Amino acid sequence: MRASAKINSYLEVLARREDGYHEIRTVFHEIDLCDTIRFTLTENKRIKFFTNVKSLQNRENLVCRISRFIQKTFSVQAGAAIDLHKSIPVAAGLGGGSSDAATTIRALSELWSLHLSDEQMHDIAAEFGSDINFFLVGGRAAGFGRGERIEPLADSGIENIVLANPGFGVSSAEAYSAVERYDGSDAWDKYLASGDVRLAHNALQAGVCRRFPAIQALLNDIAEAGARPLLSGSGPTVIGFCPDAETATALCGRFARRGMWSIVTRARGRGETSEVM
């Protein structure tokens, strides 16, 4: 199975909630960049987990925790061997961990013949994180609450998206703690109506850039190249919405020559296959 990354083309922070999370509204896009996960049915109840990223090779990562939760909740007598190959950078604002979690929910429902309903899968997702619910829907969608309430939107068809990562992590808690004022304007409605990436917005961007000037420097580079710059989620990955393939290729190459992780990608449609051929 493929576990796609995501970007947020719009993110407003509306208020701090009593549960410690923030009330947001956002627009998610599933993109072509993905991890791949192989699930193999086993006769004993053990959950075996393998990955190419050493820091995730433990029983407390999200994939293992969700697997054990499903197994216990539905009294599953079988087990699974799970092999995760990471291509999405860790702690990058691209939702890799949440996507791996959503893929695990869907895959184990099939592997263990549970036939979970959409509602059951979304209930499981909401127990473990805010972005997981989006990846059960995919494509383009609006997110509300802490991001777990999802409303599908028409696919965007955005091409020529450059992503670049400076090589360090920014935690979600750190990004949200840097928010100095809350959003709330008609810009949300204008963006939903037009889908124009020139109106893209991330309320976390200013605070993150104050703490990490290197991210602001990358955003400046993107703007100078003629693309629309934006922080991806809580960062540190930055997005360049490029006007054409030539600009995207040149910008990606510019970052790569600095030894920085960068790719050119596109938004995926909701109906595209989740299987890796």
By annotation, the residues acting in catalysis are: 6, 131
- Residue burial 104-116, b: 16+ Cβ < 10 Å; e: rest: bbbbbbebbebeb
Among 135, 53, 70, 64, smallest CA distance to 99 is for 135
* Token pair for 270: 């909701």
Distance CA 22, CA 36 (A): 31
Kindly give the pairing relationship between strand 201-202 and strand 2-16: parallel
Count the alpha carbons within 13 Å of 174 in the hemisphere toward its beta carbon. 14
**SS3 assignment for 66-99:** HHHHHHHHCCCCCEEEEEEECCCCCCCCCCHHHH
Distance CA 227, CA 247 (A): 8
* Token pair for 215: 């991210």
Among 146, 148, 194, smallest CA distance to 12 is for 146
Distance CA 39, CA 47 (A): 10
Task: Tell me the three state secondary structure of residue 233.
Answer: coil
Distance CA 257, CA 191 (A): 34
